[in-house]
Amino acid sequence: MYDCGDHWAHRIRIGRIQPARDDRRYQYFVSGAGPCPLEGIGGLWGHREFMRAFDDPNSECRECLPDLDKEGKTWDPEDADLDAQRARLAPFAE
């Protein structure tokens, strides 16, 4: 969940609607693009500035980037770990 004041927008597409059977939930995560923005990045504008600095090795702002190698993990703007996202959302579909 993001800060409400950051004004993030999400696009959700409903593929089809079917009649429910029993008391099951049928939500299913199909796809996504890229990882979530870093927590506390400052909304869309902060994320854009972060991406500019991330993409430009000569950027003066690069020194101000958050520590991206915590716990031995690196942040990759192309990484969309769909299996991890499905696992996070699975409890809501039970």
Torsion of CA 74, 45, 7, 32, to 10 degrees: -40
Confidence of residue 94 (pLDDT cuts 50, 70, 90): low
By three-state DSSP, how is residue 90 classified?
Answer: helix
Cα separation, 22 vs 68, in Å, equals 45
Distances (CA, A) of 30 to 16, 17, 40, 73, 91: 12, 15, 27, 25, 16
Taking only the tens place, the pLDDT of each residue in 50-82 is 888 777 878 777 666 665 554 445 667 777 778
Report the predicted TM-score, pTM, of the whole model to 2 decimal places: 0.52
